[in-house]
Amino acid sequence: MNLFIRLFRVIFHAFFRPKISFYDVSEVKFRVWLNDIDLNLHLTNSRYLSVMDLGRTDFLIRSGLGQYFLKNRWQAVLGSASLRFRRSLRPFQAYKLKTQIVGLDEKWAYIEQRFESEEGLVAYGIVRGIFTVKGKSIPIKDVLQTLGLPGDLPALREDLVHWNEMDQASREYLLEKGFIHRK
């Protein structure tokens, strides 16, 4: 199924599905179509990230964040993504994508996204994103305040702390090689 059609379907259905809180799990059901597969006859690796975008779209609408994106011209921008594959999804196989906020710090929201089928976990992803307006980052505490939520930021899970350290080491390598420059 064309990604544009999937996006339209996710947005349309999100308006009729139950609302969720900022910390609840969003769940969207999909199926592997022939244009989703690669030469190995399973869901191609790149499609996982595209479908993850759709899961976050459902989450934004159903959690109420979408209205602030429209009203305040906010944008969500990813800084990092990590994806671990466990098993394949074959043509026409049904699966679910579960999306949930699992951590916050002063700048970033950490979002867990799990692909699940009848056999169990298929793939596990973590993304780190910021909210922006006019190209400037919106502090997470401001986002929480807009949503009427407490601004307390609990400590990040240990795996997220290590992921941040790895990401920072990768950034330092890119700086050292001259592939990117300090802002």
Q: Answer whether residue 169 is part of any domain.
A: no
Domains identified in the chain, total number: 1
pLDDT string in tens for the chain (183-residue length): 678 899 999 999 999 999 999 999 999 999 999 999 999 999 999 999 999 999 999 999 999 988 888 888 999 999 999 999 999 999 999 999 999 999 999 999 999 999 999 999 999 999 999 999 999 999 999 999 988 898 888 889 999 999 999 999 999 999 999 999 886
Q: Answer whether residue 161 is part of any domain.
A: no
CA distance 162 to 140: 20
User: What is the total residue count of the chain?
Assistant: 183
Give me the pLDDT at residue 69, please: 86
Which amino acid does the sequence have at 121?
Answer: L
Of 38, 12, 137, 15, give the one whose Cα is nearest residue 90.
38
The whole domain housing 114 covers 3-150
Give me the pLDDT at residue 1, please: 60
Give me the pLDDT at residue 154, please: 84
Relative to beta strand 109-117, strand 136-138 is unpaired
Q: Answer whether residue 168 is part of any domain.
A: no
Give me the pLDDT at residue 147, please: 87
Q: Answer whether residue 160 is part of any domain.
A: no
Q: What is the CATH number of the domain that holds 101?
A: 3.10.129.10
Residues contacting residue 79 through CB under 8 Å, at least 6 positions apart: 108, 128, 129, 130, 167
Beta strands in 5-133 (DSSP E): 26-31, 74-85, 94-104, 109-117, 120-133
